[in-house]
């Protein structure tokens, strides 16, 4: 096959070879022009199809509650419900009431002479209450600061003592006040200071002459 092509090529006259070569070279720009023109037409057709494609219409849907204002059309009802759930405060796992304490010591009407007098609190119910703190005052004086420290009373004056204890929940802030009245007798017995009575001076009578 190759031999036939070689023989055919060598059989072509010399002038015709050059004519065919020039003709082939001249057809190359024409082919390039045709290819570029076709590519340009394809791009124009694509742009025209894109312009003629109908765009979907977006409807604005407004959701209204019976009691609340209209919801924003850009806000999804699912997201709104999620925001409400996130903002809601979770219910505590313990009772938010103050712990029900009673004053176990001193008892009502006790006569006490020890110093200091340390108050004993006893929980009445063993339910799951949240933590509580307490403050106290004596004989209508100012309240102490709330804490969970033991209550001990030092250097009290003898007489009737009115003790008030306020128990407050650290979760709800609710308070409950307990009152206890007792008598305190100071243990130190005063020693009376002896008084010295003046000794009358004895005047001897004058001697007679």
* Mean pLDDT confidence for 162-169: 96
Q: Pick from 72-76, 82-86, 160-164 the range whose average pLDDT is largest.
A: 160-164
Q: Do 45 and 111 sit in the same domain of this protein?
A: no
Q: Is residue 17 part of a domain?
A: yes
Per the model's pLDDT, the better-predicted residue between 128 and 18 turns out to be: 128
Q: Write down the pTM of the prediction.
A: 0.47
Specify the pLDDT at position 23.
76
174 inside domain: yes
**Is 66 among the domain residues?**
no
- Into how many domains does the chain fold? 2
Any domain includes 170: yes
Between residues 151 and 44, the one the model is more confident about: 151
Q: Average pLDDT of the chain?
A: 77
Instruction: Tell me if 75 is assigned to some domain.
Output: no
Question: Average of pLDDT values for 25-35?
Answer: 81
Both tokens of 59, joined, read 């409807």
Query: What is the rounded average pLDDT of the residues 111-139?
Result: 93
Which domain CATH number covers 175? 2.60.40
pLDDT tens-digit map of 84-109: 555 655 555 899 999 999 999 999 99
Average pLDDT over residues 154-164: 94
The answer for residues whose C-beta is within 8 angstroms of residue 174's C-beta and 6 or more apart is: 96, 97, 98, 168
Q: Of 173 and 68, which is predicted with more confidence?
A: 173
Q: What residue numbers bound the domain in which 9 lies?
A: 2-50
Q: Within a domain: residue 194? A: no
Say yes or no to pLDDT of 74 above 60.
no
pLDDT of residue 161: 95
Is there a single domain that holds both residue 170 and residue 106?
yes
Q: Of the residues 50, 67, 87, which one is the last residue of a structural domain?
A: 50
In a domain, 87, yes or no: no
Q: What's residue 191's pLDDT? A: 45
Q: Is the pLDDT of residue 15 over 90?
A: no
pLDDT of residue 167: 96
* Averaged pLDDT, 178-182: 96
| 107 plus 46 within the same structural domain | no
Is 79 inside a domain boundary?
no
DSSP 9-47: HHHS-HHHHHHHHHHHHHHHHHHHHHHHHHHHHHHHHHH
**Burial of residue 115, with CB atoms counted within 10 A of its CB: 0-12 exposed, 13-18 middle, 19 or more buried:** middle
Measured between alpha carbons, how far is residue 19 from residues 3, 25, 74, 101 in Å? 23, 10, 74, 121
What is the side-by-side order of every strand in the sheet holding 111-112?
111-112, 175-184, 159-169, 132-138
Residues 180 and 108 in one domain: yes
Q: What is the mean pLDDT of residues 49-60?
A: 59
């Amino acid at each position: 096959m190759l031999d036939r092509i070689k023989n055919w090529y060598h059989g072509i006259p010399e002038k015709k070879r050059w004519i065919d070569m020039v003709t082939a070279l001249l057809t190359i720009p024409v082919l390039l022009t045709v290819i570029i023109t076709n590519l340009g037409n394809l791009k124009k057709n694509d742009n025209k199809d894109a312009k003629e494609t109908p765009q979907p219409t977006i409807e604005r849907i407004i959701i209204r509650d019976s009691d609340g204002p209209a919801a924003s059309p850009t806000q999804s009802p699912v997201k709104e419900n999620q925001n409400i759930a996130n903002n809601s405060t979770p219910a505590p796992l313990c009772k938010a009431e103050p712990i029900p304490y009673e004053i176990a010591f001193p008892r009502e009407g006790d006569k006490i002479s020890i110093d200091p007098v340390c108050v004993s609190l006893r929980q009445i119910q063993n339910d799951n209450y949240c933590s509580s703190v307490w403050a106290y005052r004596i004989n209508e004086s100012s309240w102490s600061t709330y804490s969970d420290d033991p209550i001990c009373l030092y250097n009290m004056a003898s007489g009737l003592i009115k003790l008030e204890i306020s128990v407050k929940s650290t979760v709800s802030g609710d308070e409950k006040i307990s009152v206890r009245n007792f008598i305190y007798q100071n243990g130190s017995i005063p020693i009376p200071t002896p008084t010295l009575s003046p000794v009358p001076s004895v005047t001897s009578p004058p001697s007679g002459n």
